[in-house]
């Protein structure tokens, strides 16, 4: 498709004057990964992707990867709450200065343990 001028950006395109590409909201307005719905006046039909041709273990693997990804995102969000609070309270410049000081202190404390 790229050789024919396809641009990857989910918009309606005509390639070589006769290949018509439609955005996802026309035929696939429901995301498989997140189940988010994007119904628009352009929506013609819904592709209810069930992957019925895949073996069951393949579906479970995809579900497992999706759950694991969402769990990592949630854990990352929770883990970085103190950083976000610090940036809001101190401001970016003071926060970065404090962060450098703490890294330097931790680095020197680590070298003392090595002796």
DSSP for 7-60 reads -SSS--EEETTTEEE--HHHH--B-TTT--B---TT---------TTS-HHHHH
Does this model's pTM top 0.75? My answer is no
Interatomic CA distance for residues 37 and 28, integer angstroms = 9
Q: What is the pLDDT of residue 57?
A: 54
Of all helices (H) and strands (E), which one includes residue 93? helix 92-114
Q: What is the pLDDT of residue 115?
A: 46
pLDDT digits (tens, 9 = 90+) for 1-57: 788 888 888 888 998 888 888 888 887 777 766 677 878 888 887 766 666 666 655
Give 100 or 61, the one with higher predicted confidence.
Answer: 100
pLDDT digits (tens, 9 = 90+) for 45-72: 776 666 666 665 555 677 777 777 777 7
- How far is residue 99 CA from its own chain's centroid? 27
Interatomic CA distance for residues 34 and 83, integer angstroms = 27
Interatomic CA distance for residues 77 and 97, integer angstroms = 23
Q: What is the pLDDT of residue 49?
A: 65
């Amino acid at each position: 498709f790229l050789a024919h001028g396809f641009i990857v950006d989910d918009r309606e395109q005509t390639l070589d004057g006769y290949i018509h590409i439609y955005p996802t909201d026309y035929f696939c307005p429901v995301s498989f990964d997140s189940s988010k719905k994007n119904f628009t006046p352009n929506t013609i039909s819904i592709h209810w992707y069930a992957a019925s041709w895949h073996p069951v273990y393949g579906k479970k693997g995809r579900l497992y990867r999706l759950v694991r990804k969402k769990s990592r995102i949630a854990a990352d969000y929770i883990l970085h709450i103190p950083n976000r609070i610090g940036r809001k309270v101190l401001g970016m410049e003071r926060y970065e200065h404090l962060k450098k000081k703490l890294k330097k202190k931790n680095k020197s404390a680590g070298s003392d343990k090595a002796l």
